[in-house]
Amino acid sequence: MKVKIKRIDKSIPLPFYETDGAVGFDIIAREYCSIPPKEISLIPTNLIIAVPPKYMLVVASRSSTPSKKGLAPPHGFGIIDHDYCGPKDEVKVMVYNFKDNPVVIERGEKIAQGVFVRIDKFEWEEVDEVSTKSRGGFGSTGGYKNID
């Protein structure tokens, strides 16, 4: 499937899949950023992407980013809707710096990964009771067990 994409700065390469087995494509920073300690910042990615209808784009942290950079997405991951693709709709990566020092992101540095996920929309059917049997509430399946 082909996806329409616009680069704001044409000197920065298109996103790419690092290996044939990669599920996510690498996203890089458009500009130098210094993220202050204990703060949330947005890192511009240089990309405006027309996510296909019936899909969403998930922007997630690279697995090494928290340990190597001290950055994590404060909301888990970002969701890019298929109608977020206008002239000012650059994809940005939201990060929280959990270190005590500023974290520098260089222009062209890999900062996140993107994955297209197929979605469906559903209609709500409001009822007075969903089930007559309860599983037990939040945390009811037990804790962690030592399997050694």
Q: What is the pLDDT of residues 46-56, one digit of tens each?
A: 999 999 999 99
Terminal alpha carbon distance of the chain: 46
Structural domain span for residue 63: 4-118
- Label residues 91-110 b or e (16+ Cβ within 10 Å = b): bbbbbbbeeeeebebeeeeb
What separation in angstroms does the CA of 15 have from each of 29, 36, 103, 122? 11, 27, 23, 31
pTM for this model (two decimals): 0.84
Query: Is 138 part of a structural domain of the chain?
Result: no
- Asked whether 55 and 117 are in contact (CB, 8 A), the reply is yes
Query: Is 53 part of a structural domain of the chain?
Result: yes
Which CATH number covers residue 68?
Answer: 2.70.40.10
pLDDT band at 132 (very low <50, low <70, confident <90, very high): confident
Counted domains in the chain: 1
Tell me the per-residue pLDDT of 62-121, one tens digit each, with 9 for 90 and over.
989 999 999 999 988 999 999 999 999 999 999 999 999 999 999 999 999 999 999 999
Q: Which two tokens stand for residue 62?
A: 């690279």
Query: Is 90 part of a structural domain of the chain?
Result: yes
pLDDT band at 131 (very low <50, low <70, confident <90, very high): confident
pLDDT band at 144 (very low <50, low <70, confident <90, very high): low
Q: Which two tokens stand for residue 17?
A: 């899949």
Query: Is 135 part of a structural domain of the chain?
Result: no
Strands 71-72, 4-7: pairing is: unpaired
